[in-house]
Each structure stands twice: as C-alpha cells, then as structure tokens.
Amino acid sequence: MQGNAVVAGVGMTRFGKHLDTGLKALGAEAVQAAVGDAGIALDDLDAAYVGNAAAGLVTGQESIRGQVILRSLGLGRLPVVNVENACASGSTALHQAAAMVTAGFHDCVLVLGVEKLYHADKQKSFAAFSGAVDVEALQEIMTRLRAATAAAAGEKKGEGGAPGEKRSMFMDIYAAAARMHMQRYGTTAEHFAAVSAKNSLHGSLNPRAQFRDAMTVAEVLAAPMIAPPLTRPMCSPIGDGAAAVVVMSSRRARERGIAKPVRVLSSVLRSGWDHAPDEPGTVEVCAQEAYGEAGVGPSDLDLVECHDASAPAEIMAYESLGLCPPGEGGKLVESGATRIGGSVPVNTSGGLLRKGHPVGATGVAQIVEITEQLQGRAGARQVANARIGLAHNGGGNIGSDAAAMCVTILGV
C-alpha cells in the first residue's frame, strides 16, 4: 500500500509499570499529545483505529476497547475500529488508517496503540503471550520448548524456570532461534550482548524509555540466565503504555499548514505461511515489497526501528531487512554501524529491549520515534540529517514464522 497519507502529529506516554493507571488514562495521555502536536481538535478526527492485544485477558475489557478509551475523552460519533493482531496490533492499525486515507475515505484519522501488561497476577501477563500461538497445539509447543531449553541449559537451569511459568514462552522461541543462528553462522553470545548494550545506550537518552541505565557487554553477559543463551537484558520486558499518531491526507496537511509532514512511503502487512527454512519469510517478503513501493533500498535508510523482542531477533532482522548479508548480523552490530552515529542506527529509541514492549502500543511507538527523528526533534539521540526510516513490527508465531508482520517506511 502506497499513497498520500502523512503523519501530522505524534504523542506517547513513558513506557513502564503503571499498575495504578488504567487503559483510559494511558490512552488519553497519548491521544491528547498527538492531537496537540498536530494542532487540531478532537472534533477534526474522521475516524480512529485502536490497536490493543491483551486487554481482555489482563483487564477484562473486551469488544469495545477503543470506544471506552475515546469516550473518556468525550470523543464519540466517529467510526472506531478495534485492531487486534498480537504484537503487530499497533502497526496494523496504522496500516489500516493509512490505507483508508490513501483511498480517500478519510482525511484525518487517529491511530492509537495502548496496552497494560503488568498485573498483580503474573500468570495473566504471561497468558497474553501464550495465546499468540496456535492454542490447539499449545501443549505440543510447550513440551518441545521445555525439552529444547533443558537440553541447552544442561546442569545450569535458567532463572526463569519453565516456559510460560515465570517468563513469556516467546523467550524460549527466540532462544531456540538464537542457538540455531549460532550453530549455523558462528554468531556468539557476545554479539547478542552487544545489541542489548547498544540499545541500553540509546534508551538512556530516551526520557520515555522504561529502562534508562546504560549497560556494558560484560554486564549483559553477567546478568541472570533466562533461556540459554538469553540473559535477562537480552529479553524485552513487558510494559504498560500508549502511543498515538494523527494521519492526514496530503491535502489536509497542506490546508492545516503542517510544518514538516512525514510521508508514509509504504506500509506492507502480511501473515506468515508454511515455507522451507531457507526460503524467504514474512520479514523478507514484507521488506522487499515495502522497498519497491517506496522506491528505496536498504542503503537509503537513515534509521530503523525493529522488533527486538530479544537481542537475537534484532540481529536476524538486520539480515532479513537487507542491512547485511545472511549470517553477518553479528559482525554488523560489532562494527558499530547500528549505533547512533553509525551508518544505519537501529532502535534509537532503545527498542523493545529498553523502551519496553506494551505490545499493542509498540508498533505505534516505532512510528513516533521515526517521525520525531525525521523532523529533527529527537534530542540527545538525534540521527543527523535523517530523511528515511523503516519500522519493522511482528507478532505471534505459527510454525517457524511470525503470525503477523508489518513493515512501514516513512520519509520527508
């Protein structure tokens, strides 16, 4: 999908542990910030797309999540579309909003991603992730993950215990993929730790990040083991938070005098499919389609926000997005190319590893970061002369691939 949609305003909360703050308050903070940033009133909105993945499990709010949040702001009448697509809920909401603006159905649309994952009962939080696989095959999946993790751990058990008990089962899925990458390409735990250390540096510069302490590679490696080879800082934390953007047609943006609109050059959404291990998967296919629509290539990117739900996932994303050849992701992070000041900074926000991962908000938060970077207002983490940015956001797992994947390219 390519069209005339532009990002006219952005806003988000700080991500973190907000046990005493509800979905309505989190959502309202992000919406008000985005609307204010765009210089419009709530009444100027034609429609709203609200991404959320787990409110039903964690808070009990089902069916009308977006309407409940927006009505608390006094916003009604307009069409509200609730979008649930695992960790890609937010990026899917943006994809749908941009498509409707491009098609000419709306001129000014709100996109909101919001999530609460922290809960006094941690099993509720972990259940949100366990439901993002084929639940009819859940027992088989868990048995396989437990066996693989136990074999990798040997005598040394991870701090997190069994998959799904004291951690998200997805950490065991990522750990298994990491071990395969290490065996095939010689990637090391030090490479994964370098990703976490880099993102911790970036996150230390982001006032809205959940974790703001910078870590060294040695400190990452010395942290408690969760699922071999992943230590705790190599795993993204759960989180609460919200992010919002206002999407306008180019015509409406001109009429409104938006000073530096950020164009949605392409947005590609696909689901996973059954394919051979060496065949291109969702990331490769989405990325190539997005590059084609936008008329750019990997070498044109000034920055990337990628779905680093684990440190190995970022290294694999480098390869799938074409930032380096297959198997050379470890060398790329080692070279410093993906740090701020490098040739292609990745996760200048701190990424999911440090900014946090309130899943329904994550995809929209990536768009907030890239928009602010392209507009030159990212403060201490600003990428010099940034003009083109890519967001990569996936969710769920079926077989050996993501259930949902979205790649979006923005430009000025």
CA distance 226 to 237: 12
Query: Do you find a cis peptide bond into 229, omega within 30 degrees of 0?
Result: yes
- Smallest CA-to-CA distance from 131 within 162, 172, 85 is with 85
Identity of the amino acid at 65? R
Cβ atoms of residues 266 and 290 within 8 Å = yes
CB 5 within 8 A of CB 249: yes
Residues 6+ apart with CB under 8 A from 276: none
CB neighbours of 143 closer than 8 A, spacing ≥ 6? Answer: none
Query: Residue 115: beta bridge partners?
Result: 241
Concerning whether 106 is annotated as a catalytic residue, the answer is no
Per DSSP, 346 falls in state B
d(CA 398, CA 32): 37
| Catalytic hit among 119, 307, 357, 392 | 357
- Using only C-alpha atoms, the chain has a radius of gyration, in whole angstroms, of 20
- Catalytic-role residue among 18, 87, 202, 324: 87
To 5 degrees, how large is the angle CA 36–CA 209–CA 321? Answer: 95
DSSP H stretches of helix in 321-358: 329-335, 351-355
Is residue 306 part of the annotated active site? The answer reads: no
Alpha helix (H) residue ranges in 205-248: 217-222
Q: What is the dihedral of CA 401, 340, 353, 59, to 10 degrees?
A: -90
Decide if 389 contacts 374 (C-beta within 8 A): yes
What are the catalytic residues? Answer: 87, 357
